[in-house]
Structure 1
Amino acid sequence: MSSQQKTVDYILEQSADAGTMTAKKMFGEYGLYCDGKIMALVCDDQLYVKPTQAGRDYLGEVTDGSPFPGAKPYFLIEGDRWDDADWLAGLVKTTADDLPAPKPKKAKKG
């Protein structure tokens, strides 16, 4: 089952204060980016945040989940937590700040 665009739009809207939020469709699901860093996935209308130590400290009690079979565990963020925009933006910013900058893409040979 794939995620609904309205779910992704809501998460982006709620976490907008974290930075420049974007989403990219990936195999019927979505990758969420904050300031150019992929920091979460939306799969089956559930939010999975990349695990970082800063994110773990922010969350306190963590629920692990796998966004798809064979994936490493992510932090599963329950839907009722999305309604608190300040809290969600804080988690997104904390996580993004703790992740390394994306590697520059190599130029294609033409």
Structure 2
Amino acid sequence: MATKQEFVDFVIDQMEKAGEIKARKMFGEYGIYADGKFFGVICDNKLFIKPTNAGREFIGNVVEAPPYEGAKPSFLIEDKLEDREWLSELVRVTVKELPMPKPKKKKK
């Protein structure tokens, strides 16, 4: 089942206090970025966040699942999507722990 644009818009709106949040279509689903850092995906109308120590500590009772077949498990966020403050803080602590993206090489 493909993700609906309305769900993507809702999730992005819920995270607005975490920085500049963008979603990019990837392989029929969506990658999500905060201030240029890739931190999660939206697949099948579900939100998956990259696992980090800070994120695990913040969430507490973590539910992990792969966003798609063959993927590494990520934090599956289902019951807190309505909580803007909580979701924005999770994104902030996660992104803070992730490395900056490597600069893209220029094509010759």
TM-score class, shorter-chain normalisation, is over 0.9
AA aligned opposite 2:39? M
Structure 2 matches for 1:5-44, cutoff 5 A?
A: 5-44=5-44
Which residue identity lines up with residue 70 of structure 2 in the other structure? G
Deviation at 1:28, TM superposition (A): 1.1
Number of aligned residue pairs: give it: 108
CA distance in structure 2 between the partners assigned to 1:70 and 1:27 by the alignment: 14
Partner of residue 47, structure 2: 47
**Residue 83 (str. 1) matches residue 74 (str. 2):** no
Q: CA deviation at 1:27?
A: 1.2
The residue type equivalent to 2:100 in the other structure is A
Structure 2 partner of 1:3:
3
- Counterpart position of 1:67: 67
Q: Which stretches of structure 1, 4 residues or more, deviate above 2 A after TM superposition?
A: none
1:13-47 Cα offsets, whole Å, 9 max, x none, are: 01010001000001110000001001010000000
Q: CA RMSD in A?
A: 0.6
State the alpha-carbon separation in 2 of the partners of residues 100 and 42 from structure 1: 21
Deviation per CA, 1:38-95: give whole Å up to 9, x if none. Answer: 10100000000000000001000100011001100000001x3111100000001110
Amino acid at match of 1:8: V
1:107 lines up with 2:100 in the alignment = no
C-alpha separation in 1, matches of 2:83 and 2:63: 18
1:91 is matched by which residue type in structure 2?
A: L
Percent pairwise identity: 51
In 2, distance between residues paired with 1:7 and 1:97? 25
User: Can you give the 5+ residue segments of structure 1 that lack an aligned partner in the other structure?
Assistant: none
- Output the CA distance in 1 between the equivalents of 2:95 and 2:9: 19
TM-score by length of 2: 0.98
